[in-house]
Structure 1
Amino acid sequence: MTDKKEKAAGTRAYEAVLASIEAELRSGRLNIGDRLPGERVLSEQHGISRASVRDAIRILDVMGLVRTATGSGPNSGAVLISNPAAGLSSTLRLHVASRHLPVADIVEARILMETWAASKAASELPINEPSLARARELLSLMDDPALDREAFHDLDSQFHVLLSTMAGNAVVSAMMESLRLSIMDYVRNSVTTDEQWYPVAKTLRAQHHAILDAITARDGKLAGRLLREHIEWFFIENGS
Structure 2
Amino acid sequence: MLRTKSEKIANVLEAEIRSGSLLDGDALSSESALVERFSVSRSTVRKGLGILAAKGLIRTKVGIGSFVTYGGTVIDSGPGWSLALADAGTRMGTRILTIARQPMELDAPDFSDAEVLAVDRLRFLQDTGRALTLERSRVPWRDDFEPILTQGLQDGSLSRTLEAQRLSPAAGEEWANVLPALGPRDAALMGREPGEPMLHLRRLTRTAAGDVAEYVESLLDPMLFGLHMRF
TM-score interval for Structure 1 and Structure 2 normalised by the shorter chain: 0.3 to 0.5
TM-score (normalised: structure 2):
0.35
Q: Give the strand-richer structure, 1 or 2.
A: 2
Higher helix share: 1
